[in-house]
Amino acid sequence: MTENETAAEQRARMQLPGSAFAELAHGNGSPAVVRTLWDGQWNRRLVMLLAFRRAVTQDPGLFGPLPPVDTAWHALEDAQVSAPAEVAALIMHPQVGNWLAYALRRQLGGAASPAPLHTDFGQFNTLALAAAAAARQPFTTVVPLRDGRVMVPRLGMAHFSRGTGYDVAEAGTAGGRIWFSHGDQRIDVPDDGGEADGWWPLPQVSVGTGPELIVWLDRLDPMRDLADPVDPAPLSPAELGRWTELLDDAWTILTRDHAELAASLAAGVTSLVPLPVGDGWDTRSASTGEAFGAVMCSPPPDAETLAVSLVHEFMHIKLGGLMHLVPLTTPAGNPSLYAPWRDDPRPPGGLLQGVYAFLGITAFWRERKRSGRRLHHFEYAYARMQTTEALATARQAGGLTDQGVRFIDGLLEELASWQHDEVDGEAAALARLVADGHRAGWRIRHCRPEAEDIEALARLWSDGAPAAIVRPSTVLPDPEMRYWSAGRLGLARRRLIAPDHFHDVRAEDWAAGLTDADLALFLGERDTAAKGFADRLIDDPEDVDAWTGLGLALKPGRAARALHERPEIVLAVHRRLLAGPGENPAPRELAEWVGRALPD
C-alpha cells in the first residue's frame, strides 16, 4: 500500500480479459471471472485508501482529536507484511468499501452528517486495530464512538453502557486480542468469536457443501446500508436461526438447479445484510457497487424468494464490478427511460443495471419452470417479457459506450435463444396482461404531451375532424417516488396459486386499491371489466388505473391500442374537453378517435 505506484500502472493491472467480458456479456461469469472482478476491486480499494490517506494528510482536521493518520497507516502496513491474507480480507470486507466511499464523499461535500468528521474518518483506526490483532502485533490507538459504539470489521461491535453522542475511546491489542476502554469501563473482545459484556460478535453462517456459501450476517455495521450510517440491530437467536434456515434451503435450490451459478455466487457473495421489514408486502433487496460482495434483503416469506433475491443482487454485484473496470455507459443522463420492473423512470446506467439483474432472474425462472408449476411459468414469461423490452429500450436509447453496445448485444443474443421456450398458455396470457398494464400505467403517470398538441386535438374533436399525430411526450419523474403496480401483479399470481380464494384478495392490504373491475379483468371477464372501468371514469375521470384497465379490457383495436401505447394523450384530451363548455366525451369513443391517428 505505497503511494509510489503510478495511476497508469494501476489501470494496467485492472484490465479485464476479453474472455471474461464475453462471459459476463451473456449473463454468466465463472468463479474464475468472479475472482478477476475481486482483483479489480482490490486495486480499486487500494486506490481509495491512498486517496483517503492523501485527504487526511492534507487536512489533519479530518482526524480531529485522534492520533495522526500515519500511526494507524504504518500499523496497517506492518500487519500486511506479517499477515497479508488476513489484512487483505479486512480491506476487502464489503462494509469497509462502503465506509471508505462514505468518508470520501463527506470530505468532498457529497454527504452530510451531524457527526464530526473524525467520527467517520477515524474508523480507519479500527481497521488498523483489526489488522494488528490478525497479525498478533501490539498496537494502541484512539477510536471514535457513535452513541457509545464502535464497529470492528469482520469481528463485531463494542458498546459502552454509558456512551452517548460522538465520543472517543482508547483501544489496543495484546496477544492478538482487542480491548477498548472508555471511562471506567473496559471491553475485552473474546478470542472465541462469542458474545461478552459490551461486545456483540458479527455472526458468520456457512451453508451447503460443494460449493459452500459462507457469509457474514450483518445487522451491526453502521455502514451496512446504501448511504448514511444506520444504528445496529443485533440479530436475536431466533432471527439468526430463521435466517440460517432460509439461507440453507435457498442454497439447496441454487446448488441443485443452478449449479454453475451457485459456484460463482459462492465466490462473489460474502455478506448478507438483513433489512427491516418494509411497508410493502413484497421482499426488498439491494446492493451497492461500493460494497462488492454484499447483498441486502428484507425477511423473505420462503427460501425460493431468498434464492431469487440472491441471484438478483449477485447480478448487480457482477455488473458493478465490471463497470469499475470497463465503462459501459456515458455520464448519467436524465431518468427518462422505461424499466418494466420499476414504477419510476430510469437513467441509462440504472436501466442497464436492471436489465442485467432481470436477465439473471429470467434464467432462474427458466430453470424453475421445469417443475411444471404454472406460477413458475408465469414468473418466467413475465421476467422474459420485461427483460426483452428493456434490452430493446437500452439498445435504442443511446448513452452506451462501444463496450456498452457490445455488452447489450451479448445479452440480446443470450435472451434470443430463449424466445421459443414453451410456456403455459394461461400463465403467458396473465404475464402479458400485467406487462401491458404496467407499461400503460407508467406512461399515463410519467409522460406529458405538449400542451399545444392537446389544444389542437381538443379543437379537432370539437370540430368533428380526424385526430392528428402528436409529438412524443416528455417524461417527468415522480418526485415522491410512489409505488403503484403491485396490485395487478398480485392478482395474476393469486389467479395461479389459489384460484379458489381469488376474491379474498380484497381483504388484504396489498390489494386495497383494486376494484371489482380489476378482479373481472383477471378472471377473463373482459366485457364486465370494461363496463366497470368505464363506470369508474364517469365517477372519477382522473382515475389513471381505470384508464389503463379499460385499455386492457377492450378487445384488440384502435381504442385498446391508444390506451396501451399513448394513454397520456387520451387522458390529457379528455381532461381538456371536460374543462370546456358542454363537452363530456365517452372514454372508449375518445380512445378510438386517438387510435386512428397512431401510425401503423
The pTM of this model reads 0.93
Q: Nearest Cα to 337, choosing from 281, 279, 385, 395?
A: 395
Shared-domain flag, residues 502 and 568? yes
* pLDDT, position 12: 44
pLDDT at 14: 64
Q: Which of 421, 444, 471 is a domain's end point?
A: 421
* Domain assignment present for 113: no
pLDDT band at residue 1 using 50, 70 and 90 as cut-offs:
low
Q: Tell me the torsion sign for CA atoms 540, 543, 545, 548.
A: positive
Domain-located, residue 43:
no
For residue range 350-372, list pLDDT tens digits in order.
999 999 999 999 999 999 999 99
* 513 and 398 together in one domain: no
- CA angle 81-85-90, nearest 5°? 100
541 and 512 part of one domain: yes
More confident residue, 210 or 282: 210
- Evaluate if residue 6 carries a pLDDT over 70: no
For residue 192, is it within any domain? no
Share the mean pLDDT of the chain.
94
pLDDT number for residue 13: 55
Sorting pLDDT into bands at 50, 70 and 90, what band is 59? Answer: very high
- 472 and 578 within one domain: yes
- Domain end position, chosen among 396, 421, 446: 421
Give helix 451-463 / helix 567-579 axis angle, nearest 10°. Answer: 70
- For residue 198, being part of any structural domain is answered with no
Beta bridge partners of 201: 156
C-alpha cell at 524: 377473463
Over residues 364-386, mean pLDDT: 96
Predicted confidence band of residue 281 (pLDDT cuts 50, 70, 90):
low
In the chain, pLDDT over 90 holds for what percent of residues? 86
Residue 162 in this model has a pLDDT that exceeds 90: no
Higher pLDDT, 563 or 469: 563
Residue 94: inside a domain: no
CB-based contact 27:360 (threshold 8 Å): yes
Q: Please, are residues 151 and 123 in contact by the beta-carbon 8 Å criterion?
A: yes
Residue 277: its pLDDT value, please? 80
Q: Are residues 374 and 487 in the same domain?
A: no
Q: How far is CA 379 from CA 255, 298, 384, 481, 509, in A?
A: 20, 20, 8, 25, 22
CA distance 274 to 271: 10
Q: How many residues does the chain have?
A: 600
Indicate if 537 and 572 belong to the same structural domain: yes
Q: Residue 164: its pLDDT value, please? A: 79
The answer for 503, left when phi > 0, alpha when psi is -120 to 50, beta otherwise, is: alpha
Quote the pLDDT of residue 11.
46
- pLDDT higher than threshold 60 for residue 302: yes
Cα–Cα distance, 429 to 425 (Å, whole number): 6
Q: What domain range includes position 406?
A: 335-421
125 part of a folded domain: no
State which of 404, 421, 438 marks the end of a domain: 421
| Per-residue model confidence as pLDDT tens digits over 485-537 | 999 999 999 999 999 999 999 888 888 889 999 999 999 999 999 999 999 99
- Nearby residues of 82 by Cβ (< 8 Å), 6 or more positions away: 135, 136, 137
The answer as to whether 416 is a domain residue is yes
